[in-house]
Amino acid sequence: MKHWSGFGVLLGIAVAWEIAGRFGFIHKLFFPPATKILTSFVTMVVSGEVLRHVGVSMWRAGLGYVLAAVIAIALGILMGYWRAAYESFEIVVELLRAVPPPAIIPVAIVFLGIGDQMKIFIILFSCAFPILVNTIDGVRGVDPVLIRTAQTFGLGQARLIWRVVIPAASPFIMTGLRIALAIALILVVISEMVGATSGIGYFILDAQRSFRIPQMYAGMLVLALLGYALNRGFLLADSWLMGWHRGAMERQR
């Protein structure tokens, strides 16, 4: 962190916020001073109230995301590798992908109720498409020379996919997984806003509706920190998993 000027700006905004909040420049009730928001943030964290909601949200988002990854990568390899599978399912995938995920929420409520299953299904549905589409692109883009070389060396179909196709397509798969991570967070918040009694999305909307305004802002701060942490975690995992790839690219240059 070499550029302190940015943190100065951030601090300036916080101070301006504090002043505007104290004197009610913007709105007496709706715009509380920054210190008040921070206090309720600390209170919420210490009392464990917010951690419970975050835990519930993370469980939903995590399970939906992992299921989506497993299904979409498997299907993506299938569709990317076998032309017939691609041609057969392309239209269905394109049509389903065009549905904005929140529109699926009412359908999921009809079938699964308003519990965890509904939210996990929504997250699974919305995360699957970016991963699927990127995996297909990645597998289709694998250099045919690689595949033919592997075949010359007598690799069987399963080992060919495991040792050649998946590693070669992995940068694309990772791109899909990163897009899906952001979407999982968005959809867990949305599904908790539309029908839930727990989770951080519910918490924020409930705080607004019952005019616990500092809590609402604090909940948003929690979400921002959570998103930041998840993104960092993903980048770490990415550089650990894909280190070999970056090394290979550098050597080529």
Partner 1 sequence: MRLPWKGLLVLGGCLVLWEILARQSGALAAYFPPASRVAATLIDIVKSGDLPPHIAASLRRFAEGYAIAAVLAVSVGLALGLWRGFYHLVEPLVELLRPMPSPATIPIAILFLGIGDEMKIAVTVYAGFWPILLNTIDGVRAIDPVLMNTAATFRLGPWQRFWKIVLPAASPQIVTGLRVSLAIALILVVTSEMVVSNDGLGFYILDRQRSFQISEMYAAIVALAMIGYALNRVFLAVDDWAMAWHKGLTRKEER
Does residue number 235 form part of the binding site for partner 1 (CB under 8 A)?
Answer: no
Q: Please list every residue from 197 through 226 that binds partner 1, using CB under 8 A.
A: 201, 204-205, 207-209, 213, 216-217, 219-220, 223-224, 226
What is the distance between the alpha carbons of residues 217 and 205, in angstroms, rounded to a whole number? 10
What is the distance between the alpha carbons of residues 250 and 253, in angstroms, rounded to a whole number? 5
The string over 90-110, giving b where at least 16 C-beta atoms fall within 10 Å of a residue's C-beta and e elsewhere, is eeebeeeeeeebeebbeebbe
What is the distance between the alpha carbons of residues 80 and 142, in angstroms, rounded to a whole number? 10
Among 111, 154, 158, 250, binds partner 1 (CB under 8 A): 111
Among 55, 62, 102, 167, binds partner 1 (CB under 8 A): 102
CB atoms closer than 10 angstroms to residue 151: 13
Does residue number 127 form part of the binding site for partner 1 (CB under 8 A)?
Answer: no
Nearer to partner 1, 160 or 181 (CB): 181
Nearer to partner 1, 75 or 188 (CB): 188
* Phi, psi (deg, nearest 5) at residue 31: -130, 75
Q: Which residues bind partner 1 (CB under 8 A)?
A: 3, 5-7, 9-10, 13, 27, 30, 84, 87-92, 94-96, 98-107, 109-111, 179, 182, 185-186, 188-190, 193-194, 201, 204-205, 207-209, 213, 216-217, 219-220, 223-224, 226-228, 230-231
